Amino acid sequence: METKIKSKAFEQFSEATKTLLNPVLQNWKNQGGKIVGYFCSTVPEELITAAGLTPIRMRATGSTSTERSDAFFSSINCSFARHCFNLALTGEFKFLDGVVCVNSCDHVRRIYDNWIRFVPDTQFVEVMSLPRKTEATQVAWYRDEINLLRGKLEKHFGVKITDKTLWKAIKLHNETRRLQKKLYELRKQDRPPITGAETLAVMVAGTAMPKEQYNNMLRELLDELKGAKGHSSHRARLMIVGGILDDPEYVQVIEDQGGLVVTDSLCFGTRIMWVQVDESLSDPAEALAKYYVADRPSCPRFYGEHDNRAKYIIDMCREFKCDGFIGERMMFCDIWAVEHYMLGQDLKAAGIPMLKLDREYNTSAIGQLRTRVQAFLETMGR
Amino acid sequence: MLVGGCDVGSATGKAVIMRNHEIVSYEIIPSTTKPEVTARTVMDMALKKASLSSISGLDYIVGTGYGRLKVPFANENISEITCHARGAQWLLPTVRTVVDIGGQDCKVMSLGENGKVLEFVMNDRCAAGTGRFFEAMARVLDCGLQGLSELALQGKNPATISSQCSVFAESEVITLVNEGVDLADIVAGLHASIASRLNSMVRKVGLVEDVVLTGGCAKNDGLAKALEDKLSVTVKKLSLDPQIAGAIGAALIAGERVSKQTMKSPA
């Protein structure tokens, strides 16, 4: 699908998906700003922003090989972990002033284990302990984890993260979420003004640069899209659901077959912005814990939430008038493995066709992807 | 009304010409490294067989298979999943499950009563359960593809082949050969291991009779038998060459486009 977007902001977002250190981020660095990378969207970015640093989500963009990192992993580790750690070993993350890991999955845990041992030039490497259930006890646990990280950030970077600065950061990040949600609202139209691949670029860029600048650029894009002539040549409207997907090219292959992606449940998508951090609580650490553990649209990392996840996805499919659903999963991702099977059952009962796709971190085997998507659209009579 | 279907696969190119929903001619040739050349060559042969002087005599042509984007004379391309299902259903209207085994992949489609694909699964990430696998095994055992099929039917006590990987299955076969295990039992074991892989794919879409095999490997009776053993149902035989099911499906869709006037691009 051809792009219809002309704004400079989108060009910068698109650029940010193709490099690790994009021009906006480089500019921040040149002005003396510090950058902390974090793994998995369950790490509270707000805490890093409140420390006066720029949080960026870890990606392995541009990696073409895992030959240096393979020795550190086993044959059942995912290609994201391999590519990401390969870049760490070859010094591509030297621009980072710190890294925050989380036990979101075993693959990422092993990146942490290897990082502290074999990448000595990163001065600040921390790991958070994320609970697996979403009840009040676990929220309290994660609040303690957040306060622990808060203390470590304060100590290492010589800053003070007061409740006031933390609330300020929460409000800034909530504004990002509001703007992103506005963008998704436009996609509900019969002729969405932005494609799924373009939206993914916007979402990825949001995790790759200072939020204030990002929000301004996103406002510029929203202005352009308001009242813009949308896409109409698609054969079907699709929702995409899965784990770490940061490559717009992948979505582009799907859309080139005629399946316009109009919404998602992705951690570079609605899962990080559909709901906001509750600003009415008194303790900002508590508010963050409640958001990241209990309030956000759930990821299969959490136990006992499958029915809520299925409901979220089915409701979303209907809200965005989706004809079908694509479940993507990285090979060896155990978290999404069983989830997609169960979702398949739920969606079948709801009468929504589903295509399951296994993939590698880098978009490859395009011919095979194309055949599956084309056949899927044909089964829907499109 | 004259229409054509051209299925450019990884191992062979197939062309079918149909007049008013009846097959006029078909041809199968080995694929070349240039899908355009494979497509043109096989279609020219089919045209010649049908006593047609030029491709311009066809009202509409649908391309399918891995090379479907490279069929220069096709008016439209349709995935091989849809085409195989369509072709199989035309050959046997009662079919509900199609197991297609091609040169480099295998797929299972479940069909509705109208022949529409309800669900499909595909293995195109590894060679196990593909034509390439059988070719490699025929080479290792020096028996040819036909010999492989015959040996499979003779095996009394199929040897256990545990590896799902073609390369490692080959190593297992060599070990068994060196242990002096009966050749027929080894080959039967190989077929059983592939059939069990196909069985798990069938279970993913749900087993509903009638079941048919399509694709080049459908000509392997030993495989059909091994699959019947695993599925505990009869695998129905198609009345025509199962290798051209995809090209037939493509031609049928071409015919439908013409009769319903839903052509995508001018012929």
Q: How far is B253 from chain A, CA to nearest CA, in Å?
A: 12
Which residue did the predictor score with more confidence, A22 or B169? A22
Q: Are B114 and B233 in a shared domain? A: yes
Using CB atoms, pick whichever of A365, A378, A381 lies closest to residue B79: A378
pLDDT value of position A244: 95
Q: How far is A374 from chain B, CA to nearest CA, in Å?
A: 6
The answer as to whether A131 is a domain residue is yes
Taking residues A228-256, report their average pLDDT. Answer: 95
Q: Are B88 and B131 in a shared domain? A: no
Rounded to two decimals, what is the model's pTM? Answer: 0.90
Pair A363, B98: CB distance under 8 Å = no
Q: How far is A354 from chain B, CA to nearest CA, in Å?
A: 9
Tally of structural domains, chain B? 2
Q: How far is B87 from chain A, CA to nearest CA, in Å?
A: 15
Q: What is the pLDDT of residues A76-90, one digit of tens each?
A: 999 999 999 999 999
> Whole-angstrom Cα distance, residue B105 to residue B107?
7
Q: Which chain B residues have a beta carbon less than 8 Å from that of A367?
A: 66
For residues A210-227, one letter each, b for 16 or more C-beta atoms within 10 angstroms of the residue's C-beta and e for the rest, the string is: bbebbbebbeebbebbee
- Give yes or no for A32 touching B (CB within 8 A): no
Q: What is the pLDDT of residues B206-225, one digit of tens each?
A: 999 999 999 988 989 999 99
Q: Are B16 and B99 in a shared domain? A: no
Using CB atoms, pick whichever of B80, B117, B118 lies closest to residue A371: B80
pLDDT value of position B126: 74
Residue A191 pLDDT > 90: yes
Instruction: Identify the domain containing residue A77 by its residue range.
Output: 23-160
The answer as to whether A113 is a domain residue is yes
Q: Which chain B residues have a beta carbon less than 8 Å from that of A375?
A: 79-82, 117, 120
Q: What are the helix (H) ranges across B29-120?
A: 35-49, 80-91
C-alpha A337 chain-centroid distance: 18
With both helix axes pointing from N to C terminus, report the angle between B245-259 and B80-91 in degrees, rounded to the nearest 10: 90
Taking residues B35-53, report their average pLDDT. Answer: 94
Q: Are B147 and B165 in a shared domain? A: yes
Taking residues B169-185, report their average pLDDT. Answer: 88
Residue B267 pLDDT > 50: no
Share the mean pLDDT of chain B: 91
Query: A375: helix, coil or strand?
Result: helix
Confidence of residue B260 (pLDDT cuts 50, 70, 90): confident
Exposed / middle / buried, residue B207 (Cβ in 10 Å: 0-12, 13-18, 19+)? middle
Instruction: Identify the domain containing residue B162 by its residue range.
Output: 94-237
Please report, in angstroms and rounded to a whole number, the separation of the first and last CA atoms in chain A. 16
C-alpha A222 chain-centroid distance: 20
Q: Which chain B residues have a beta carbon less than 8 Å from that of A374?
A: 78-79
* Inter-chain CB proximity A375 and B79 less than 8 Å: yes
Q: Which chain A residues have a beta carbon less than 8 Å from that of B116?
A: 379, 381
* Inter-chain CB proximity B122 and A372 less than 8 Å: yes
Kindly state the percentage of chain A with pLDDT values over 90. 93
Q: Are B124 and B18 in a shared domain? A: no
CATH classification at residue A77: 3.40.50.11890
* Inter-chain CB proximity A378 and B81 less than 8 Å: yes
Residues 325-364 of A with CB under 8 A from B: 358
Q: Are B22 and B124 in a shared domain? A: no
ipTM of the complex: 0.84
Taking residues A182-190, report their average pLDDT. Answer: 97
* Inter-chain CB proximity B120 and A381 less than 8 Å: no
Q: Are B262 and B217 in a shared domain? A: no
Q: How far is A80 from chain B, CA to nearest CA, in Å?
A: 19
Taking residues B119-128, report their average pLDDT. Answer: 82
Taking residues A166-188, report their average pLDDT. Answer: 98
> Whole-angstrom Cα distance, residue A75 to residue A89?
19
Tally of structural domains, chain A? 1
Q: Are B177 and B225 in a shared domain? A: yes
Residue B73 pLDDT > 70: yes
Residue B20 pLDDT > 50: yes
pLDDT value of position B266: 57
Which residue did the predictor score with more confidence, A120 or A236? A236
Q: What is the pLDDT of residues A259-305, one digit of tens each?
A: 999 999 999 999 999 999 999 999 999 999 999 999 999 999 999 99
C-alpha A29 chain-centroid distance: 23
CATH classification at residue B51: 3.30.420.40
| Cβ atoms within 10 Å, residue B56 | 9
Taking residues A300-323, report their average pLDDT. Answer: 96
Q: Are B13 and B141 in a shared domain? A: no
CB pairs A-B closer than 8 Å: 35
Q: How far is A253 from chain B, CA to nearest CA, in Å?
A: 14
The answer as to whether A144 is a domain residue is yes
The answer as to whether A103 is a domain residue is yes
Residue B72 pLDDT > 70: yes
Q: How far is B28 from chain A, CA to nearest CA, in Å?
A: 22
Q: Are B38 and B136 in a shared domain? A: no
Q: Which chain B residues have a beta carbon less than 8 Å from that of A372?
A: 122
> Whole-angstrom Cα distance, residue B15 to residue A196?
37
Q: Which chain A residues have a beta carbon less than 8 Å from that of B118?
A: 379
Q: Are B104 and B213 in a shared domain? A: yes
Q: Are B167 and B112 in a shared domain? A: yes
* Inter-chain CB proximity B82 and A367 less than 8 Å: no
Using CB atoms, pick whichever of B66, B120, B125 lies closest to residue A375: B120
Quick one: closest CA in A to B65, which residue? A371
Among the listed residues A327, A377, A332, A371, the one whose alpha carbon sits nearest the alpha carbon of residue B100: A371
